[in-house]
Amino acid sequence: MSLRPYLLMLLSPVIACAAGTAPPRVFMVGDSTMADKPPDLPERGWGQALPAFFTDPTMVQNHAVNGRSTKSFIDEGRWQKVLDELQPGDFVIIQFGHNDEKKEDPARYTDPAASFRDNLRRFVREARAKRAVPVLATPVCRRKFDDAGNLVDTHGAYPDAVRAVAREEKVPLLELERATAAMLRKAGPEESKKLFMWIEPGKYAKLPDGSRDDTHFVEAGARQVAALAVEEIRALKLPLANWLK
């Protein structure tokens, strides 16, 4: 889809900012795959790796939290906290799906054809009401291969729901689901373990039994995904790219 005329109008405060004043802030809104993690564990979210790609790392304000869906992020007041901080020209990168899928948990589950899309629209419209720039992102892939070595989809209808809202609302879209799928296929079933929380027993005191986690990244994986997000930002020609290294 062509967003250029719309973006030129929408992003005028950001373009002005790029011309000479302070850089915009980049608010990260999402789940554990994006969130900041404690330094004494190897797990890292891709939002935690993103500041290293900017000329001013303090631009990135990571509000992503483990275990949250669009519903719980709103219900817990976390979205309101972001709204209260937003200023004209700021960016909001929004990535959900992993926890919205959990039908067994009514506190988090959303319907990809209804409530999930409604929540994404709310994020977009309320960010724009603050004259900030919303950017949607499809959820990153889990590492799941079948016995033949083929990558297996785990997100169902959620990535397409994000794409649909991006089209409807004319929002820039970071296509991380397809980008991370390509990353995993290239690495293959064994090498891709190095990107995720596959940890040998005894390597970390807080993980005495090790870990076999196909959802969450180690530093190498988080940095690769952040690099993919940066490629998407450049490809979309977002003014935010003016502050990338």
The predicted pLDDT at position 16 comes to 42
Whole-number Å distance between alpha carbons of 121 and 209: 42
> Domain coordinates of the chain in residue numbers?
4-239
For the chain, 245 residues long, give each residue's pLDDT as a single digit of tens.
445 434 444 454 444 444 456 899 999 999 999 999 999 899 999 999 999 999 999 999 999 999 999 999 999 999 999 999 999 999 999 999 999 999 999 999 999 999 999 999 999 999 999 999 999 999 999 999 999 999 999 999 999 999 999 999 999 999 999 999 999 999 999 999 999 999 999 888 889 999 999 999 999 999 999 999 999 999 999 999 999 99
Q: Do residues 103 and 206 make contact, with C-beta atoms less than 8 angstroms apart?
A: no
H or E segment at 107? none
- Which residue, among 45, 133, 119, 37, has the nearest Cα to 78 in the 3D structure? 119
User: What pTM value is reported for the model?
Assistant: 0.90
Indicate the angle between helix axes 158-169 and 115-129, nearest 10 degrees.
40
Whole-number Å distance between alpha carbons of 194 and 218: 8
Q: What is the CATH number of domain 4-239?
A: 3.40.50.1110
The predicted pLDDT at position 167 comes to 98
Residue 180 has which token pair? 């991370």
Residue 11 has which token pair? 């992003």
